[in-house]
Chain A
Amino acid sequence: MLNKKRFFDLFVLVIIASFVLTACGGGGGATKAPTEAPPTAAPTEAPTDAPTQPAADKIITIAWTQEPDTLNKAYSSMWYMSVLTDIYSCWPWIYDEANTVHPFLLTELPTVSDDGLVVTMKLRNDITWSDGTPITADDFIFTQAMITNAANTVYSVYPYDLFTITAPDPQTVVMTFDEVFVPWMPNLWLGTLMPKHILQPVFDAEGTLDNAEWNRAPTVGCGPFNFTKWESGSYLRFDRNPNFWGPEPKLDAVVFQFVPDDAAQTAACLAGDADICYWPPYEDMPAFKKAGMSIVTEPSGYGEGWFFNIRDMASPGIRDLNVRKAIAMGLDRQSNTALRMSIVKVTETFWDALPQYVDPSIVQYKYDPEAAKTLLESSGYKDTNGDGIREDKDGKPLTITQGNTDKTERQNHQALAQQQMLAIGIDLQTSSYDSAILFADYSNDGPAATGKLDIMEWSDAPYFPDPDISYWLCSEIPSADSPQGSNYFGCDETLDKLFKLQSVTANQTERAHIFWQISKYMHDNVLYLGIWDDPDTWIVNPRITGYKFSGVTPFFNIGDWDVTQ
């Protein structure tokens, strides 16, 4: 039996041990520099095991509500991961604050052959990895080979499996597609470039890149900053890349601190513990304005919208065009959106962030509950029993199921929509799900995949700034035989043909006109109803200068950022 003194001693020892483990052990979660780097690598890299960081004058902290799952872009679909590649990795081309594309690793934007099948990239001759090794066409060939290799469980092989790649010389990369693939630019090389000289030995030794230390500690990169440290659950740190081939970055370091709670993120920014917040709740905007912080919005192609399900298993009501039009006119989108502090505006189509692809003759459905009621009457929906809900000719109530992911703002909108639908006699049955449940596949009984919902709401985008999207293709309809499809909305032959046609139309003017037809057809048939646009929203501390954000490559000019002392 322990006596009291020993018990007390043991207790104290446990506490001290916890502190020692945590505070003095270099961080249990610290990611150490990979051992696979060649001996010549990065003599200037900051030490990763030191318990404290070297003092630096110009450091900014960005509150980040989601921790990345990896730092190898090929393995991740997370937005919170992919945008980090602007900092430590490099892209052949980048997008500026107007979302205009510019060459970055290239001497000029890629050229496309007349038949649209061959894309040629000319690399600059002064680009290097952070350890001084030149970036060459071999790195591109290696990256494509790794992404398409079945031994690597990368997130997606698309569209790297659509072309063959060759290198006539170290500065030229030629991609030859089997058939015309128009949206190659927003879908390729988005932070995926891998250093062959670091990762080829790993693949040769292990037969896969899945467990490469570089995936979590890419100490050899090609962006303006070098990866320094990843403390699991705490922060990611990038220090200035002294070997950066472009203009020298002005900041010494950029720190991404993981703050999962939205309200805590707001507090961190207001207190000055974080310099930048991303996508905070709209109701916090007045507090940021009062604190003198800048609010920057940047279109990213995303928009909140209602996706209509017209498959056989959907309710008869939602498959009636008049009912869908009545819903569009019965939903007071203007008022519902005005609640969002004037940060967002009402949208109409899936492509509102890309107006050149939207038919200009489209007229927004205006809020008109009386006209909505008339439409419902004309389809035979009348409230025969006086309970406020309309019934069809057989006496069945006009009940529409609606579901979304469980984001607070979405749920608030859902409640408003329910009231507005009731006002025109529609019983809107609402539900909220975690995204992993809402989008579970057909075999896992996902409510979207199995068609349990008539209307689904979430925020989505085409492959911005390209308008391509595969959601409405007939081949994507999920079923017991093909459970993984992402077309939860129905097969429309007209739409299917148009979507297929646009993806192989190289002429941009012709392609834009196909999208005019698509947007008009979807609008007239109410297959999608925009709710509000969903721009990237950044809160910036006034001590930061020189910043700009892009909707595609948000940190495209991070090298120009500075801080006032």
Chain B
Amino acid sequence: MARYIIRRLLQAIPLLIIISITIFALLQNSGDPLATMGGKRVTRSEDRVRLARILGLDQPIYIQYVYWLVGNDWVKLDINQDGIFETTGQRKGVLRGDFGNSLVARGQSAMELIKERIPNTLVLMIPAEIIILTFSLLVGIFSALRQYSLTDQVITAGSFIGYSMPIFFVALASMYIFGVNFRKWGLPYLPTVGMFDPKIGKTFSQVAVHMVLPIISMSLVSISGYSRFVRSQMLEVISQDYIRTAYAKGLSERMVLFGHALKNAAIPFVTLVGIDIPFLLGGAVVTETIFGWPGMGRLFIDHLTRFDTPVVMGILMLISLAVVICQLLTDIVYGWLDPRIRYT
């Protein structure tokens, strides 16, 4: 097992380098960060030239990538364009833990920005994922065990409705119902936007109450999809011979379902969850944007739309690394769920 893990980790190194080159090239060709710099007016041509020179954006793409990877503190730069290369670069490069400074949040490093947002994202995404997994399993199993019953039909119809609704619609509808109209009708209401009320501060109760609507929005759509998956897996497993054998041997229904059926039905589900987990770090772009939640998803979209390469690269490389690690963990969990699987 140890050799397997080491081999997988070593294989990840060239993979991550290829990913970084691909994303870097795509980003460099997708827009000009100096075009308006977030302003309403086009940047003056003299300023574009000056800023491109100082920020290193006038260099060929491969040079920019090398500086991003290994830094530029080993080269002299001509910052004031007087023909004299007198200023040593300041960047250390990703390999030395420096993702560079944001082109948007001036004076802040990309890593600093990412570190600020990760806890906010996790505090939203982890409870959401727990709720999604728990309810998906419960609804899926319940539905499978009562196949074609009225309850199953209602759950099926509800799932299709939930799954076919875009998340922005669910988010805005829940915001207007529970945040705007409930208040208008004199009912207990929920806050519309933010992670907490800035006038009160970031207290436990404030964060908890502001989490309700974003989590409901994310969960509704995901539970609808996942529960269908669990249902079909369970239906397939409970019709297998070994389940019939288990019943024939006199095992209790609970033991058969949770000891044998669920464990086998869960294997493909683990694959799905294994893919999901690294993306928890990336946050939920739509949900965070609509609810004004200060997480990674919003950071990503805010900086992607302004072509802030250092921050976007930082986020994507972090997610890539998490994908590699989570896929490895998924494989290990397979071995736990299915003793027939062996890694050498």
Contacts and interface: CB of A to CB of B under 8 A. Distances in A.
Interface string A136-158: 00000000000000110101111
B120 A22 contact: yes
A61 B166 CA distance: 30
B49 to A, nearest CB: 5
Contacts of B302: 67, 260
Interface string A41-84: 00000000011110010010101001101101001111111000
Nearest to B298: A233
B270 to A, nearest CB: 13
A446 interface: yes
A331 B296 CA distance: 43
A232 B45 contact: no
B106 A69 contact: yes
Contacts of A28: 115-120
A267 B336 contact: no
A456 to B, nearest CB: 11
Contacts of A52: 200-203
A440 interface: yes
Interface in B280-327: 289-295, 298-299, 302, 305-307
B198 A257 contact: yes
Contact of B306 (A29, A211, A264, A436): A436
A436 B116 contact: no
Contacts of A151: 79
Interface string A419-440: 0000000000000001111111
A268 interface: yes
Contacts of B48: 441, 484
Contacts of A268: 192-193, 292
Interface stretch (B7-15, B121-129, B220-228): B121-129
Contacts of B307: 436
Nearest to A460: B41
Interface string B15-47: 000000000000000111111111111111111
- If over half of A's interface residues share one DSSP class (helix, strand or loop), that class is named, otherwise mixed; here it is loop
Interface in A479-497: 482, 484-486
A485 B42 CA distance: 10
B126 A15 contact: yes
A88 interface: no
Interface residues of A, number: 90
Of the four ranges (under 10, 10 to 19, 20 to 34, 35 or more), the interface on chain B belongs to 35 or more
B127 A437 contact: no
Contacts of B37: 76-78, 155
Contacts of A461: 40-41
Contacts of A215: 106-107
B254 interface: no
A264 B40 contact: no
Q: Which of A261, A485, A486 neighbours the largest number of chain B CB atoms within 10 Å of its CB?
A: A261
B50 interface: yes
Interface string A209-237: 01110011000000000000001111101
B207 interface: yes
B194 interface: yes
B243 interface: no
Interface in A291-322: 302
Interface string B166-207: 000000100110011001000001011111111111111001
Interface of A: 1, 11, 14-15, 18-19, 21-25, 27-29, 50-53, 56, 59, 61, 63, 66-67, 69-70, 72, 75-81, 150-151, 153, 155-158, 210-212, 215-216, 231-235, 237, 253, 255, 257-261, 263-265, 267-268, 270-274, 302, 434-441, 444, 446, 459-461, 470, 476, 478, 482, 484-486
Interface of B: 30-52, 54-55, 79-80, 101, 104-108, 113, 115-120, 122-123, 126-127, 130, 172, 175-176, 179-180, 183, 189, 191-204, 207, 289-295, 298-299, 302, 305-307, 336
Given A79-B39, A273-B193, 11 more contacts: A19-B123, A28-B116, A72-B106, A150-B54, A153-B51, A264-B175, A267-B179, A271-B191, A440-B31, A440-B32, A444-B32
List the 6 closest pairs (A to B, CB-CB), nearest first. A233-B294, A52-B201, A77-B39, A440-B32, A21-B119, A439-B35
26 contacts: A18-B122, A29-B117, A66-B38, A75-B107, A77-B36, A78-B38, A153-B55, A155-B51, A157-B46, A216-B107, A233-B294, A235-B198, A237-B198, A257-B194, A258-B292, A260-B302, A264-B175, A302-B40, A436-B306, A437-B32, A439-B35, A440-B32, A441-B35, A460-B41, A478-B45, A486-B43
